Structure 1
């Protein structure tokens, strides 16, 4: 935990991060009823701030206080929580929206489903492992297998699922994107 916090605090100090919300959050947030939202692995809060501006009461969870500090005071209905997501517990039936963007902790999958209120919306996007090691080098522990996200959240009503390839200055990555509703 301490190593993760130190590493992420350094990343949030050493580079400029975008304030723009992710496209998938912008595309699907309106499917959720106004209420509580949880942003898992919130980082500097780009999605948290956006959701707060849309009227959600947002709990933004991240291990790095340097990232969370960048959103502190950004909105009255935004609560930054510094916590290790390896041990974090999501309360049951609490959230009308849960966003998990560019973060992966498979242990949280059942907690995420349980944390959604009935009719709650899950917006999830993260990296997929490249076959044969091509593309951006990421640890396989933090990358999905093909279709893994689709199967992991099969108990929900899947509204949207796509696997895409994206090239940036940092290299080529593959992403899995999902929007789903708790039945």
Structure 2
């Protein structure tokens, strides 16, 4: 069994940086949650988290009053989370384009999308190397623009930690920037 402290330390620095931007009202979706590192972080901050993955064995140990594991095939014929609404959606190290445009639709007004995954050029450093799992240049910016999301921060960069990788990541809000975001997070673009 993994130590909760270790899981919190292992949470994505990008998610750590922007997690408190998510409104406290409503729940947060941790999509393709894996071992639950980001779900555990969000729960530690007081958020109710729906932790979804095709294999929830690793996340079941974190199931408590704030983390709700749900097993779903995220790459099937139909979108399994149709009709659900969230104050925040967190996705790290996962990309499945057929349902990518569903994510902004699932945010409530003022809801925050925090997305981080591998980008083109990552094949130079190892896996994933399949173009189906690598974001194209400015792809997350395009998703935000086509969905009416306001970009808080965006990066398309090389990272050397925890291992060399090309990564694209965004934090964006649906609707108008609410008071809790204004002045708190400087707008940043890198890439």
Please, what TM-score do these two structures have when normalized by structure 2?
0.78
Q: Do residues 39 (structure 1) and 30 (structure 2) align?
A: yes
CA distance in 2, matches of 1:135, 1:32: 32
Q: Do residues 161 (structure 1) and 154 (structure 2) align?
A: yes
CA distance in 2, matches of 1:66, 1:36: 21
- Tell me the residue number matched to 1:27: 17
Q: Which runs of 4+ in 1 moved over 4 A?
A: none
Once the two structures are TM-superposed, the CA of residue 92 in structure 1 deviates from its matched residue by 4.0
Q: Which of 50, 65, 68 is equivalent to 2:41?
A: 50
CA distance in 2, matches of 1:38, 1:78: 10
Q: What is the aligned-residue RMSD (CA, Å)?
A: 1.8
- Tell me the residue number matched to 1:180: 172
Q: Which of 63, 71, 86 is equivalent to 2:75?
A: 86
- Tell me the residue number matched to 1:9: none
Once the two structures are TM-superposed, the CA of residue 90 in structure 1 deviates from its matched residue by 2.9
- Superposed, 1:38-117 pairs within 5 Å as 38-72=29-63, 75-87=64-76, 88-92=79-83, 94-117=85-108
* Cα distance per residue 1:6-41 (max 9 Å; x no partner): xxxxxxxxxxxx612111111111111112000001
Say if 2:73 and 2:80, in contact at 8 Å, map to a contact too. no
Structure 2 counterpart SS, 1:153: helix
Say if 2:53 and 2:70, in contact at 8 Å, map to a contact too. yes
Structure 2 counterpart SS, 1:79: strand
Q: How many residues align?
A: 162
